[in-house]
């Protein structure tokens, strides 16, 4: 492993994400040698803490990861420092600036700075502006910004945020996190498509009937009601994760597998996504909110949720791309909380043979063929399956669906880095492939804003689905209307 040298400044260092994901990701990079002697992290948040107290928090956060050398966690934590900080006070940046310069010197980070914003989004713009004004950026190394979602709550606010960030950082210095892009099997979409003649030559409206993307969660809103009730599934999952997955499924082959080339194609794909009129949006989008069931509360009775909340905890939709490859092929997507299970999968349903000789009245047998389906299992299993029709063994002639399946082994899975580990490393390397560009985010918001506006006007009939189901009946009807079904159903 080549060591990445940098001083990382983390805004929101005592937050939940930092403690659950970020320190463990950094520790794994340290164990693999991507981080070694020449890195330091300066944590900030409002809370006063000493360096020792902060290092203790870091050690606790990584305590579930076995050390690969004695004293490793302790040694790792010695790269962590802390300054309490009020992001709205310019003079506080002066203190950070000085501290960063000292750490750079002490650890030999060669002027490389990575700023990571993992805190309330209303401060993202203020922080970026102050980083520039108070001169926290260096001239001798890289300056990069990693930023967590939510990236705005509609196109307007996202644009405002982006304009603010752009005063300090150029597009190629900004790394917008979408952790779904860090998942092994989401990245595998490109390998599957562009590495296989068998797949890519059929990847169009001549052979594909429809594509289904399901991001299903078993848990409810848990402790995040404050955020979630203001957001809802459309903003929380569709605008970002689903749009990113769909863009990778729909895009054309990039000229080369570089971040710049992949971006160009994703942007083109999102541009050709059909922008719905309000009445089309009403016809092609379904929303839901979970009821009580299995001894658990209805969404409206969760802690911190408005008892009359109209926030959706489920979305299903039919998306259409207006381009030569996809014209006429629906992309059905759905996501929700309190559904039957926790999983993410993509089902690509192929057209049936134009002529089914087995069901032909002139044939001996009378049966119909199933559609071929390519399923990409993103989580909890990682792998894919292809469903084919084959002859059933034995006398006579009947066909039956058979399954060709590849699932990653447990040891492969253990080797695969978690999304945050991978994405942290990409940001340190300056590789944008698995981050969302501004143009992608902008198109995704413009698409989603139409739906949001409609839903903000019309009062929903909530609650409308039971925990443990796959969402409201209208989600099944969305496909039934087109003579189709969800491949995964209960």
Q: Which residues bind ligand BG6 (CB under 6 A)?
A: 179, 217, 236
- What strand order describes the sheet that includes 80-84? 80-84, 39-45, 6-11, 113-117, 143-147, 174-176
In angstroms, give the least distance from the CB of 342 to ligand BG6: 7
Q: Which one, 93 or 180, has the nearer CB to ligand BG6?
A: 180
Nearer to ligand BG6, 135 or 304 (CB): 304
CB 180 within 8 A of CB 248: no
Nearest to 283 by CA among 330, 348, 344: 330
Q: Which residues are catalytic?
A: 241
The residue among 217 and 312 lying less far from ligand BG6, judged by its C-beta, is 217
Nearer to ligand BG6, 209 or 236 (CB): 236
Here the tokens at position 295 are 């001894």
For residue 28, the minimal CB distance to ligand BG6 (Å) is: 17
A 10 A CB-CB count for 431 gives 14
Least gap, CB of 179 to ligand BG6 (angstroms): 6
Tell me whether residue 481 is exposed, middle or buried, using C-beta atoms within 10 angstroms of its C-beta: 0 to 12, 13 to 18, 19 or more: exposed
Using DSSP's 3-state secondary structure scheme, residue 188 falls into helix
How far apart are the two ends of the chain, measured CA to CA in Å?
45
Nearer to ligand BG6, 19 or 132 (CB): 19
Identify any residues that bridge with 375 across adjacent strands, giving them in sequence order. 347, 385
Minimum distance between the CB of residue 153 and ligand BG6, rounded to whole angstroms? 13
The C-alpha atoms of residue 30 and residue 21 are separated, in whole angstroms, by: 14
Residue that is written with structure tokens 């196109």 in the block:
155
Bridge partners for 214 per DSSP: 334, 345
Minimum CB separation of residue 40 from ligand BG6 in Å reads: 28
> For ligand BG6, which is the closer residue by CB, 217 or 291?
217
Which DSSP symbol is given to 256?
S
CB of 217 to ligand BG6, least distance (A): 6
Please name the helix (run of DSSP H) or strand (run of DSSP E) that holds residue 371, with its range, or none.
Answer: none
Non-local (6+) Cβ contacts of 296 within 8 A are 220, 338, 467
Q: What Å distances lie between residue 189 and 215, 312, 391, CA to CA?
A: 16, 29, 30
Of 208 and 427, the one with the shorter C-beta distance to ligand BG6 is: 427
Within 8 A by CB and 6+ apart from 454, the residues are 278, 281, 282, 285
| Cβ-closest position to ligand BG6 | 236
- Using alpha carbons only, what angle is made at residue 237 by residues 264 and 480, rounded to the nearest 5 degrees? 95
- Long-range (24+ apart) CB contacts under 8 A made by 20-23 are 20/61, 21/418, 21/420, 22/116, 22/118, 22/420, 22/424, 23/58, 23/61, 23/62
Q: How far is the CB of 227 from ligand BG6 (least distance, A)?
A: 8
Cα–Cα distance measured from residue 294 to residue 292, given in angstroms and rounded to the nearest whole number: 7
Residue 329 or 339 having the CB closest to ligand BG6? 339
Considering the complex, what minimum distance in angstroms separates the CB of residue 236 from ligand BG6? 5
């Amino acid at each position: 492993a080549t060591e990445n040298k940098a001083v990382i400044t983390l805004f929101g260092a005592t937050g939940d994400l930092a403690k659950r994901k970020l320190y463990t990701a950094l520790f794994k990079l340290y164990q693999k040698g991507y981080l070694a002697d020449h890195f330091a992290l300066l944590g900030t948040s409002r809370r006063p803490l000493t360096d020792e107290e902060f290092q203790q928090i870091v050690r606790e956060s990584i305590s579930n990861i076995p050390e690969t050398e004695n004293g490793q966690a302790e040694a790792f934590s010695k790269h962590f420092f802390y300054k309490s900080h009020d992001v709205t006070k310019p003079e506080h940046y002066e203190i950070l600036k000085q501290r960063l310069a000292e750490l750079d010197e002490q650890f030999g980070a060669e002027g490389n700075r990575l700023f990571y914003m993992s805190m309330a989004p209303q401060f993202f713009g203020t922080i970026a502006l102050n980083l520039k004004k108070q001169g926290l950026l260096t001239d001798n190394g890289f300056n990069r910004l990693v930023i967590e979602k939510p990236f705005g709550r509609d196109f307007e606010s996202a644009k405002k945020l982006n304009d603010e960030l752009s005063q300090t950082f150029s597009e190629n210095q900004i790394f917008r996190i979408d952790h779904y892009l860090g998942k092994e099997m989401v990245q595998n979409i490109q390998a599957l498509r562009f590495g296989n003649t068998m797949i890519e030559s059929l990847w169009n409206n001549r052979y594909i009937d429809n594509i289904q993307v399901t991001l299903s969660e078993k848990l409810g809103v848990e402790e995040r009601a404050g955020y979630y009730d203001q957001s809802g599934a459309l903003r929380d999952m569709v605008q970002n994760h689903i749009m990113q997955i769909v863009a990778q499924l729909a895009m054309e082959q990039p000229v080369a597998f570089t971040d710049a080339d992949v971006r160009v194609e994703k942007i083109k794909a999102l541009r050709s996504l059909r922008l719905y009129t309000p009445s089309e949006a009403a016809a092609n989008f379904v929303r839901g909110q979970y009821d009580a069931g299995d001894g658990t509360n209805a969404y409206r009775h969760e802690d911190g949720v408005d008892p009359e909340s109209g926030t959706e905890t489920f979305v299903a939709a039919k998306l259409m791309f207006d381009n030569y490859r996809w014209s006429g092929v629906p992309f059905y997507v759905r996501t929700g909380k309190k559904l039957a299970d926790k999983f993410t999968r993509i089902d690509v349903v192929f057209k049936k043979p134009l002529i089914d000789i087995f069901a032909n009245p002139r044939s001996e047998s009378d049966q119909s063929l199933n559609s071929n389906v390519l399923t990409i299992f993103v989580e909890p299993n990682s792998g894919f399956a292809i469903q084919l029709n084959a002859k059933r063994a034995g006398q006579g002639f009947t066909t039956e669906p058979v399954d060709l399946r590849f699932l990653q082994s447990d040891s492969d899975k253990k080797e695969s880095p978690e999304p945050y580990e991978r994405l942290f490393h990409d940001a340190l390397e300056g590789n944008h492939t698995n981050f969302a560009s501004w143009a992608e985010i902008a198109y995704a918001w413009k698409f989603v804003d139409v739906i949001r506006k409609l839903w903000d006007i019309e009062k929903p009939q909530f609650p409308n689905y039971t925990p443990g189901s796959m969402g409201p009946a209208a989600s099944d009807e969305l496909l039934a209307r087109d003579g189709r079904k969800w491949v995964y159903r209960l």
